[in-house]
Chain A
Amino acid sequence: MKLITAIIKPFKLDEVRESLSQIGVQGITVTEVKGFGRQKGHTELYRGAEYVVDFLPKTKIEAAVDDAIVERAIEAIEGAARTGKIGDGKIFVYDLQQVIRIRTGETGNDAL
């Protein structure tokens, strides 16, 4: 099992969710986050005070998937989230040791 964490542009969330559903991913967790990468921030001006906003709003999604569909899931996220412009985000993949469904106590692939 793998845990896929992806940082994407917020407005791409719906497309990414849709394409993951299509390949059989049963659920994802979404968090609103801020961060910086190569994409530059912007400046805000309030009367005489200027503030550089370095951290841009992004959306973080997490999905636990079976090894069998990891590659397809990564492609699905890439395909849906890509605009070709700087700031499209990144995908991180981790080994996942265990998954437990709290309601039934199922573990491993059964719990995905």
Chain B
Amino acid sequence: MRKHIKSFLAACSLLFALGISQTAAADDVPVAKPAAAASASTSTPLTALASAPAAAAQAAPTTAEAAPAAPTPNKGDTAWMMVSTLLVILMTIPGLALFYGGLVRSKNMLSILLQVFMIFALIIVLWCLYGYSFAFTEGNAFIGGTDRLFLKGIWDPVKATFATAPTFSKGVVIPEFVYVVFQATFAAITCGLIVGSFAERAKFSGVLAFVVLWFTFSYLPVAHMVWFWTGADGIKDAASAATELVKGGWLQQLGALDFAGGTVVHINAAVAGLVGAVVVGKRVGLGRESMAPHSLTMTMIGASLLWVGWFGFNAGSALEAADTAALAFVNTLLATAAAAVSWVSGEWVFKGKPSMLGGASGAVAGLVAITPACGFVGPMGALAIGLIAGVVCLWGVNGLKRILRADDSLDVFGVHGVGGILGALLTGVFASPALGGQGVFDYVTNKIAPDYKIFDHLLIQATGVGVTILWSGVVSFIAYKLVDKVIGMRVAEEEEREGLDISSHGESAYHS
């Protein structure tokens, strides 16, 4: 019964959206012109992002009978989303791998490159087997369902149709396979981020085992809680909005704003990293031996690739090549530049010298902080977030690091955790139309909701941050302890002294 109602709602909304434009030739002509025009802004989400393959899952095939003119993906949107996906791959391999790799000692270079590389590969596999389904199909408020296990049902061989995934604009869709791969890269880079915390001492098999557990029990639920909704097409009035909204993830229902992954990606991974640094323990010789980065040249290349790739991450999260993507694009450029300037200025003043590592770290801090905000805030809001993130994250790797006393080798928490929390909270502030932001889009009235209360949104954002910290913290702790018992999370001391490249992988990064 529920399914029928859903199909009916979806069908009605599609008919409404399409009007008479049934021809579906839709090359570069946006099929959903009427809806897009009605909604003025192309894609400002109601309360959160990421779209709803579940809606797509049911909408596309079932509506095919009721409404022959299902929305056809716009080729420009599709192309942009595939390019964005490639950009996020570029961020991870080689971007993140080189950024991290340059920061370790030369004897551990390959261990970091390989950990990032293999985690990327492993998570992509798991994503297609079960990750996508549990994150982005309808289930309960905490985890999705099994509709898309093994990516089944996206291609319908009987009807010879591909399913589509909705965007944030009514009647605008992208091929669901594109949504699958785009989100796959997010899951992969998030898991890759964690390894920086226990770099130079972790056991390779332990790392992989941990990542499988953490991906399954932390990434997937948090992604579902924050990002899953059934799409805008089902929302036509207050009543349908209410019934549609409760199908979304828990934090989505609360109205938490996370455009591209401040909570899901950065806080989630950073907390896992910090817990890992504590559970795995400090590196042998910490504080007595030099653990200086072996190649800041590599780190600069990695940071630059991250910056470029992040446009796919942030602007791609708009899911369309339109206004919101353009806004996210300019915000990602500006906030990052501002954070690099403020970090380097900060260390110049407080430490005496401007450094390349400071520039690279500042840029990454800015990218992290603008991630949740990039589609919601205005450019000057982004500038403010970047400037603040640069100095606060500088404190994150100095003052805070000394307070925490954990050997977070590559400062995953100091940069991604602090930057992520700051960005998530400031999103609630600078999303306010009074501060140049986009506010919250109301899909019932199809315009921006008139009243935006900063304090209320700040509280919701803080809830999202708190839930993510707790969830990831608890899952990580249990997963590390379990893996440590069964496989071991750490190599033997002699192996650590020799370097993981030779002792774990039987190869050397450099030959002199």
Contacts and interface: CB of A to CB of B under 8 A. Distances in A.
Contacts of B361: 47
A47 B411 contact: yes
A48 B292 contact: no
Contact of B293 (A46, A48, A53): A46
B397 A48 contact: yes
Interface string A74-91: 000000000000000000
A51 B290 contact: yes
Contacts of B358: 47
Contact of B398 (A44, A47, A51): A47
Contact of A48 (B103, B353, B402): B402
A109 B460 CA distance: 88
Contacts of A47: 357-358, 361, 397-398, 411, 414
Interface string B371-398: 0000000000000000000000000011
Interface in B347-364: 351, 353, 355, 357-358, 361
A51 B402 CA distance: 16
Nearest to A52: B290
A47 B353 CA distance: 11
Nearest to B299: A46
Contacts of B411: 47-48
Nearest to A49: B291
Interface in B77-112: 103
Summarize A's interface: helix, strand, loop or mixed.
strand
A48 B400 CA distance: 10
B292 A44 contact: yes
A46 B296 CA distance: 10
Summarize B's interface: helix, strand, loop or mixed.
loop
A44 B358 CA distance: 13
A102 interface: no
A21 B68 CA distance: 91
B419 to A, nearest CB: 14
A48 B398 contact: yes
Interface residues of B, number: 17
Nearest to A47: B397
Nearest to A48: B398
A48 B355 CA distance: 12
B401 interface: yes
Contacts of A45: 351, 353, 355
Interface string A43-67: 0111111010100000000000000
B401 A48 contact: yes
Nearest to B289: A51
A61 B402 CA distance: 45
A44 B397 CA distance: 16
Contacts of B397: 47-48
Contacts of B414: 47-48
A33 to B, nearest CB: 15
Contacts of B355: 45-46
A48 B358 CA distance: 10
Contacts of A48: 397-398, 401-402, 411, 414
Contacts of A51: 290-292
A45 B398 CA distance: 11
Nearest to B347: A45
A16 B402 CA distance: 48
A99 to B, nearest CB: 29
Contacts of A46: 103, 292-293, 355, 357
Nearest to A51: B290
Nearest to A45: B351
Contacts of B353: 45
A57 to B, nearest CB: 15
A45 B296 CA distance: 12
B344 to A, nearest CB: 12
Contacts of B402: 48
B389 to A, nearest CB: 15
A46 B351 CA distance: 11
Interface in B381-435: 397-398, 401-402, 411, 414
A52 B79 CA distance: 51
26 contacts: A44-B292, A45-B351, A45-B353, A45-B355, A46-B292, A46-B293, A46-B355, A46-B357, A47-B357, A47-B358, A47-B361, A47-B397, A47-B398, A47-B411, A47-B414, A48-B397, A48-B398, A48-B401, A48-B402, A48-B411, A49-B291, A49-B292, A51-B290, A51-B291, A51-B292, A53-B290
Given A48-B397, A48-B402, 6 more contacts: A45-B351, A45-B355, A46-B355, A46-B357, A48-B401, A51-B291
Q: Nearest 6 pairs between A and B by C-beta? A: A47-B397, A48-B398, A51-B290, A48-B401, A48-B397, A51-B292
